[in-house]
Amino acid sequence: MWGWHEVGVGVLERVSPNTRLKPDGRKVIVHIATSADGYIARPDGDLEWLTSRPAPKGFYGMNAFMRSVDTKLLGRKTYEVSLRMGAKFDSHSRSIVFSRHPPPDAPSGVEFVNDAIGPFVSRLRAQPGKDIWLMGGGDIIASFLDAQAIDEFVISVVPVFIGDGIPLIARRHRHAPLELHSIDRFEDGVVQLHYRVQKQR
């Protein structure tokens, strides 16, 4: 039997009996690829150095990861780049775009928000569901990290230097200690680093 779960003041969401709150809460995870010199794209946003690589079976664990999440968070630039690359946003999964200037018409399944990150993520964690994928880009990852709103990083380091580009995290003065959880190495030279973010008091 379906039930109802409060997702905000005066807002209810219909919840399947198969959907449960995770006992330790939903995690916000950055799952992303970088060049060996720490960039997620060239200065103009070009990703040819990444997309032209033949991917191994399982796509570096991405297929399994996608089954573990049901919500995507991304900045406006990443959203627009994703559209240009042919990404599909629909009502099958929840996509939330942080933008100061939301468009008048958004496709089904895409929400535009301009909320403070900390309170927004606290409300999101409290809702039933799977983990949450923070896709990027570098500015929004930096803002989430500074708000202590990221639980884990999964960084696939591609064996190529691109010399210049958009950094994984926008450069600011910060200290954010990480705990190494695991390392996976793939035959094509990609190394995947799985970190947990240590919470600071």
**CB atoms inside a 10 Å sphere around CB 41:** 24
Q: Which residue has the higher pLDDT, 91 or 57?
A: 57
| Residues whose CB falls within 8 Å of the CB of residue 128, separated by 6 or more in sequence, listed in order | 5, 15, 19, 20, 21
Average pLDDT, whole number, for the chain? Answer: 84
Q: For residue 25, what pLDDT is reported?
A: 78
Across the range 26-53, mean pLDDT stands at: 94
pLDDT of 147 > 90? The answer is yes
Which contiguous run of DSSP H or E holds residue 183?
strand 178-185
Q: Render pLDDT for 93-123 as a digit per residue (tens, 0 to 9).
A: 889 999 888 777 777 778 999 899 999 999 9
- In this predicted structure, what is the pLDDT of residue 22? 54
Looking at residue 7, what is its pLDDT? 31
Place 197 in a pLDDT band, splitting at 50, 70 and 90.
very high
201/175 Cα distance (integer angstroms): 12
Decide if pLDDT at 8 tops 70. no
Residue 73 has pLDDT above 50, yes or no: yes
Residue 10 confidence (pLDDT) = 29
